[in-house]
Every structure is written in C-alpha cells, then in structure tokens.
Structure 1
Amino acid sequence: MAHDAALRAACRAAYINNMPLAQIAAAHTVPPGTLRGWKRRDAARGDDWDKLRAANLLAGEGMEAVARQTLSDYVRQHKALMDEILGAGDMTAREKTQALASLADSFNKMVSASRRVLPETSELSVALRVIQLLAAFVQREFPRHAAALLEVLEPFADEVAEKLGGHRA
C-alpha cells in the first residue's frame, strides 16, 4: 500500500517529537515495519530520525533533564539486575560476586558521571542530606527542640529544593 508524503512527514515529526513507533503506527494506521523501513531509508540518505529526535530532546528539555532521566532509568535497571543476580539459582556464589562487583563498578561510574552533568541535583542532594543530619543530631542531642526544628525544617527543605533544583528530592 502506498502512503503519501504528508503521512510520512507526520509520522517522522511524531517520532522526532518522542512518540514511540508503536504509538505512531496505531495513530496513523501505518504498519510498524513500514515506519522502520522509512526510518532506515531516510537515515541512509542522511535524514537520521534518531539524531533529530535526540537533538530535539536536548533542545526541548535541556541536558540536565536528559541526564536526570538517564540516571533514573539506570537506577531502575540496576535494581532489576541486582534482583535477578541475587535470585539466580543457576549462578555460583563466585559468579554472583563477580556480577555484583561489575554492577557496582558500573553504578559508581554512572553516579560519578551524573555528578558532572547534574551539578544542581548533586548540590540539592548534599543540601538535603545536611538537613537530615541536623534533624538527627537535634533529635539525639536536644530532643526537647526536635518538634520546633521539624516545624521549621519541613518547609525549609521545600525551599532549598525549589532554589537548588526546582523540585523536592
């Protein structure tokens, strides 16, 4: 079945604007295989939909938003892999230890990279950690002041989050 140029352009635009291929296929009643073929042929001619999509994402949301989402996605995958490794009955203890060590190394590298890309998020994390440490200290050493401190710290934590990161962590 032949598709007109307008339909093809609409599908391309939807993809570049971050819509998944399956959703585009359903919305425009175009088979997913046809969409993948258009994408592949256009890329061969220098019109790479994936590069345009990435550039659009960076321009629209900024590098910090992309890095924040990447870190969030990584943490979800990291947790899933840890659960899989720990629950694997067909792995020896040595294999599990090696896999966990490799995963820990990967995690440390990801966190280190995210600190460089996400200075606001790192700053916010430190600020909120200091607030938590102060609250614990007051609770332990000056329990009679804990309620008053908590009354002040809760709204203050929100203000710190708003000033440093635009959201509550």
Structure 2
Amino acid sequence: MAHAPETRDKVRRLYVFDRIGLEVAALQCDVSMSTASRWKREAAEAGDDWDKLRAAAILAGDGIENVARAALAGFLTQYQTTMDAINTNGDLPAEKKVAMLASLADSFNKTVAASRKVLPETSQLATAMDVVQKMAAYIRDNHPQHAAAFVEVLEPFGNELAKLYG
C-alpha cells in the first residue's frame, strides 16, 4: 500500500521532534511498523538519520542537564535489571557474582563520572558506588568465602543507597 509523502513526514516528525516511539508514531499515522522501520532505515541510508536528529532535538529542547539525567536514569534501569538477573540466577557461583558486581559498579562509576561535570549532584552517589565496588573487589580477592553473604546483603543495601542519594 502506497502512502502519501506527508504520512512519512508525519511519522518522522512524531519520532524525531515529538519523541514518540516509532511503533506509536506508526500507529498514529495508520502505517505498519515494518513500513515505518523501512522508512527510517531508507532515510538513514540517504543521510537522514532519524536517531541522530532525535538526539539533537533532545539536546536543543531540554538542555544538556536533562539529557544527562535521562542518560543516567537509563543506565540505572539497566543496572537494576542486571542486578535482578544476578540475584535470581542461582546457577552462578558466588565468586562469579562478585566479579560481575565489581564490573557493574565500574560501569556505573564511569557513567557517573561522565555526567559529573554536568550533574554535580551525582558525586555523592558516585562516591557510594565507588566504595561498594572497592568492597566487592576486596571481598573477591581477600575473603572469597564471604562472597555469598556479600551478594545477599548488596541488593537491599543498594536500595538504601538509592533512597539516600538517588
């Protein structure tokens, strides 16, 4: 089914400037998701990258502080998802969990460090996460027999940190 160029332009506008998801934009314009995805892909191949334009529109519209907050919030969502996966996978040995937690804390610190200049309020949370990372590494290296207990108390402690600093 052929669509008018105005329909394609409307899907693009909704996605890029109104920040509506591509699926919802397609629904609003009575276009299939596969068609909207194809339009987006073809536009990118022609040099009209909708995702880059969307990011630029966010920067221009919200300011760098809100963008940094959104990026940090997105990372925290992924962080929590990973934590949930670590805590629910009973097949992982405690030492592996501690190593994964240390790596996750390192990623968190790097993300926070990148946003620290824009969002100085994240410094306290970054310090708290750095301490948790150092403690995980210390337990892994010096007291591996306590790794399981550390993993057990880490999730509720992480919730406390989020209440205090998040």
Alpha-carbon offset, residue 122 of structure 1: 4.5
Deviation per CA, 1:10-43, whole angstroms, max 9, x where unpaired?
A: 1111111211011111111100000010111111
Unaligned runs of 5+ in 1: 127-168
1:44-55 pair list within 5 angstroms: 44-55=45-56
Residue 112 (structure 1) aligns with: 113
Larger Rg: 1
Give the SS at the match of 2:20.
coil
1:138-149 pair list within 5 angstroms: none
Deviation per CA, 1:30-89, whole angstroms, max 9, x where unpaired?
A: 000000101111111111111111110100001110101111121222122112212211
Alpha-carbon offset, residue 109 of structure 1: 1.2
1:70-149 pair list within 5 angstroms: 70-119=71-120, 121-122=121-122
Normalised to the residue count of structure 2, the TM-score between the two structures is 0.70
Alpha-carbon offset, residue 111 of structure 1: 1.7
Unaligned runs of 5+ in 2: 126-165
1-structure distance, mates of 2:96, 2:119 = 34
Q: Deviation above 6 Å: which 4+ runs of structure 1?
A: none
1-structure distance, mates of 2:81, 2:48 = 36
Kindly tell me the number of residue pairs found equivalent between the two proteins.
125
Point out which structure has higher relative CO (alpha carbons under 8 A, 6+ apart). Answer: 2
Residue 69 (structure 1) aligns with: 70
Amino acid at match of 1:72: A
1-structure distance, mates of 2:32, 2:4 = 14
1-structure distance, mates of 2:84, 2:9 = 43
What is the root-mean-square deviation of aligned Cα atoms in Å? 1.8
Residue 154 (structure 1) aligns with: none
Residue 12 (structure 1) aligns with: 12
